[in-house]
Each structure stands twice: as C-alpha cells, then as structure tokens.
Amino acid sequence: MAALRLTLAASLAASRARPPLARRPPPAPCSASTGAMEPEPRWLAGLRFDNRALRALPVETPPSGPEGAPSAPRPVPGACFSRVRPAPLRQPRVVALSEPALALLGLGAPPADAAAREAREAEAALFFSGNALLPGAEPAAHCYCGHQFGQFAGQLGDGAAMYLGEVCTAAGERWELQLKGAGPTPFSRQADGRKVLRSSVREFLCSEAMFHLGIPTTRAGACVTSQSTVERDVFYDGNPRPEQCAVVLRVAPTFLRFGSFEIFKSSDEHTGRAGPSVGRNDIRVQMLDYVISTFYPEIQATHASDSVQRHAAFFREVTRRTAQLVAEWQCVGFCHGVLNTDNMSIVGLTIDYGPFGFLDRYDPDHVCNASDTAGRYSYSRQPEVCKWNLQKLAEALDPALPLELAEAILAEEFDAEFHRHYLQKMRWKLGLVRAEREEDSALVARLLETMHLTGADFTNSFYLLSSFPAGPESPDLDEFLAALTAQCASLEELRLAFRPQMDPRQLSMMLMLAQSNPQLLALIGTRASLARELERVERQSRLEQLSPAELHSKNRSHWAEWLLEYRARLEKDQEAAGDTAAWQAERVRVMHANNPKYVLRNYIAQGAIQAAESGDFSEVRRVLKLLETPYRGEGEAAEACEVAEPEEASGEAGGAASRRHSYSCKPPLWAAELCVT
C-alpha cells in the first residue's frame, strides 16, 4: 500500500486582506529570464502581474557563477526573497484544474468545445508546470525560518515552492501565484525542490475542500504531473522508489507566514541556530509596513502616525484570525499535521497541506502525521500549539512591537476568541439557533465524550444529528439510535486501532528504564510514547473480552443518555423561538450548512492518487467536484450515511470506481493501514 504524503469566514478574511488597487506602473521585466523567447499564452494572456512584494521587500541578487548557481543551497542574509528559475519537467500534463480557484484570477469558465478545452489544458500544463513563464512573472523563493516540533531550525525558506508574482484582477483583487514542486531553490538544502504526484494530489484536493467547507485557506488552481521522476523513500525504510514529479499552482493573497519574521532571530539557546538576518530591525520594520499596508489597510489607516499601536493592532488581528481558524479546524475534525511556525499564515489562512487528515473515529489524541511520534500536533493540542506559535511570532516582532505588549494581547485575545468562536460554531452544528445558555459548553463536551467512548465517526455523527427528531411528540429514538450506532466503531475496528505498536521486549525494556532511570526516559522523549503504548495494551485486553453484542449495547446506552439531554436542550431553544415551524426550519437549515456530508478522508484521497498514478485522472476530478458541495443543499432529500460493506474494503486502485457511491462512508478497514508522513 503506497503511503500518503498527503467560507463565510474565508471570504471575510480574504476581503479584509485585499485593498483596492490603485493604478500602478507596468510590472518590472522578469529578471529570472534566460533570454530565450518565452511561448506566448492565449487563455492566460489576460493575467496582469504587479509584483508588489518584490518592490517592497529586499530581494537577493543571485551570486554569479556557473549555470545553476542561483539555486545552490546557501544562507540568504539581508533579503526576503531570492530570484530563481523553475526547472522544466518532461511532458507536463494537467491532472485537474479548479475552476472556482482560477475564476479568482478572472479566468473564464471552460469552453464547451473539446478541442478548445484540450488547448486550454495544454497551455495550463506549459505555464503551470514552470516550463514557460507568463509575461510579467518574476519567479522568486521566499526566505523564512521556523520552529519545527518546538525547536528553532534556523533558515528554511521555499525549498520546493516559487513565487511567480501577483495577479491584479478587474475586480480590484490581488492574488499571489505560487508553483509548488517547480525545482530547486537556495532553500532546498539537500533536496531536489520537487513534489511527487501523491503529495500534490492531496494538497490540490484539500486546498479546495477546505475553501468549500468555509474555512480560510490558500487555494489550488491546478495540479500538473509529468514524465519526470524522482526517488522517494516512502516509508523511510531504506527502499526508495521512483515517483512522478508534479506541480501545484497555489493561489492566496500572500504566502507570508509567522516564520517570515523569524529570519531576525539571534542564536537559539537550545539549538544554537540563528536566522540569516540577525540584527536587521530595518528589514523587520520594512516587512511590517508592507504586510500591514497591503493586507491590513484598515489598521494602517487607523494608526498611520503611531507605529507601536499599529503593530499592536496588527498582532491583535493576527491572534484573532488564528484563534478563529483553529476553532474552525476543530469543528470539522481537521488535523493539520505539521503546525510549525513556518506553516502558519500571517493573514489567518490554512497553509501548507502535508500530512493532514480529517478525523474518522473520534479520538481527541489522534495524530495524523506518522512522523509526529510524540503527538505534539495531535487534534486536541492544535489550539494550544497555535497559541504557542503566536508567542514565537510575538518574540519575532520585538522590538518593533515590545514583547510585553504583545504577550498581554495574546493573553487577552486568544483563549477568549477561540472559545467564543468554537462554541458558537458547535451551537450551529447542534441546531441551537436561539437562546445561548451557559450549559451549552458542557453539552458539547459530553457529546464529544460520548463520541470518544463509542468510537463514533466524527463527520457522519454530526451529519446524522441534522435529522434528529427534536420535539417531545416525536417518535421514540429506536430508529435514530440504530442509524447513529451504525456509525460507531466495530469491535474489529477498535482491535485494529488499539493493537500494540511496540515489540513486547521493547516495552519491557522501556518499563524497566521508567523504574530505574525516569530522568533518562524523559530526556529521550519516550515517556508519552510509553504511556500511549500501555493504554493500547490495556484497551486491547478489555476488547478481547468483549463481544460485538455487548459493544453495541454499551454504545446504544451511551448515545441514548446523551440524546435525552440533547432533546431537552432543543426544547428550551424551541420555547425561546415561539414559532415552532419557523424554528424547526431554521434549525435544519443551520445544521445542514454546518455539518458536512463529505470531507477529504484519507481513503478517498488514496483512491484518487492510485488512479492518477496509473494515468487515470477521472477520480481526482470526480472527487474535486464532489468536494465543491460538501453540505446538503436546500431542499435536498435527507440521505443516510453509508456504511462500507466488507467487500468494498479493498485498497486496490481498481476499487475507485466501486467507491463512487461511498464517499460518505466510514473508512474501510484497510484505511487504517495508510501511513501519512
């Protein structure tokens, strides 16, 4: 099994981030050009570039030397960008285009004529692979640093991504275009600057899925594959295999991140590493001026004459947006996987889709990234980690924003904003549309506890609650309970989920070390792993003594208890409304708008990846279209969540067609074997 490398709020965030465009001088010529004549675009000829970031921020001039020197790995001091050139791919070919994302750039709908569509895709493959540059594009790689898994890593930067430029549209919007996987840059270190089809399909699909879920995110306009290959050690087991190179066209107001401001960090007390631009407070102020004037113009206008208050208002808004963003993640069960400071957007977007995942069986300690052995970025810890990352941003802004002031803002804003946004979203998911009550937080907590105890499917359980019989005169709960308990984990699923991961001899040795030298155990960072392993062993033992009938009875009992509490709370909400029919209609409408039927589960992405790797892109396109409408439409008939039949639980690529009807299923058992790193 191949491994996976896999808005109302979004609209508000984007509209706040984009100032109206004044008339600007023509864009500078592309200094990265080799001098050869570039092909002339047709479909893309209307894209107008105005690359403000390269004018406003310092750009490194690549060192002179032999051909290829501009992409040689090196420190890049005193600059925010370094000019680069995409490396061509052999026979690029479009996997899929996202029409809603491309529409942001003013690109029209696909033509009905098949020949015209083919010409359009050929042009997209040429320019969105990096094989040719659009007029006005100025490829550059962004320099940033980051705290990775809690440790400062020094200079990182765009090792596999390239800024192409900023497109200004007739609607007065400004969008940065980026190619991810277009070849080496000064920040590639020992890597090749390439991305493979497997990870590119995941990023492409999830970028668009998150937008249509209503979550602030960067967008993906195209996914292009090729005949070029690179070797990747998928399982990190010393057995690399060739994989197809691919490129994703990413679109966002900006790809600047928390780590963009960490290039000024002095030597870290733990790692000894420093940023490449230590002491350059002039560039820090330059970056702040650019970011605030471009993406937070209302803050610039309000605090034009007071830089400290301007910087404070900026940090306050970034804190609020980040709190709201992670609250949105928690409410759809999204796990980012690599919440390093270099993967946190400065404008509050979900950015850099790597080993992400959506919760299937609800587990607050779920870790979607198999490389995260300590569980730092588990689902339940995401709010805490985002706050920690904001602390690092606060440190990076000092002295332009005094650290004490930034820390006071963080303490005042983050927790309050997160809990407010999270609880309001959860109320909507539960159809509580009228009176807000203090006990709502406890109701949500008990729901999640019930889901955890029963191993309930996160997405499908919330989706089913939309059809809960609310009134006291409603029929008994037997039928509804049957549908709900069908979404709980089976005995087989639980035994697979809680099987021990350590060899018994290794576990015995770790237990001996815990008794004889607990300090050493803590030092090597395996205490949490040991605790999780002991929990697995204990759970496995209990499960061995449980029958399917007993498990079903327990699950039914847990849900029946919570549903009685939920029905009582709905009755109070109804009483506050007065008009029962209007309340019921609003409740159903709000729940349908906040409880998706479809999310990008790993097994769905894997089916699309396997088909694409065999040259069939239809499944990627089918899944992309499906994810454009994740919520039940107005007037659409209620549809029960499906349960995968055992014969469908096949990991073979050929099973993609048979899965067309099962995108809302609980994942098949083989999905538990998928490894996302």
Catalytic sites, residue numbers: 342
**Amino acid type, 387:** K
Q: Could you give the 3-state DSSP secondary structure of residue 667? A: coil
Which helix (H) or strand (E) covers residue 267, if one does? Answer: none
**Amino acid type, 154:** G
* Residues 6+ away with beta carbon under 8 Å from 573: 431, 432, 433, 434, 435, 583, 587
The runs of H, that is alpha helices, within 240-345 are 281-295, 297-302, 307-332
Residue 13 DSSP class: H
CA quadruple 38, 36, 57, 23: dihedral, nearest 10: -40
Q: Could you give the 3-state DSSP secondary structure of residue 661? A: coil
For residue 154 the two structure tokens come to 């020094």
Dump the DSSP string for 426-489: HHHHTT--S---TTHHHHHHHHHHHHHHHT-BHHHHHHHHTT---STTSPPSHHHHHHHHTTSP
Contact status, residue 16 vs residue 296, Cβ threshold 8 Å: yes
CA dist 424 and 406 (Å) reads 27
Residues β-bridged to residue 247: 224
C-alpha neighbours within 13 Å on the C-beta side of residue 194:
21
CA dist 496 and 498 (Å) reads 6
Residues β-bridged to residue 162: 179
The CA radius of gyration of the chain, in Å to the nearest whole number, is: 26
* Residues 6+ away with beta carbon under 8 Å from 180: 160, 161, 162, 195, 200, 203, 247, 248, 250
- Least Cα distance to 287 among 269, 320, 262, 318 occurs for 262
CA quadruple 492, 497, 501, 505: dihedral, nearest 10: -50
- Sequence length of the chain is 677
Residue 195 DSSP class: E
CA quadruple 43, 45, 47, 49: dihedral, nearest 10: 150
Dump the DSSP string for 582-601: HHHHHHHHHHHHHS-S----
For residue 419 the two structure tokens come to 């809990």
665: left (phi over 0), alpha (psi -120 to 50) or beta: beta
CA dist 657 and 555 (Å) reads 33
For residue 208 the two structure tokens come to 């668009």
CA dist 532 and 373 (Å) reads 10
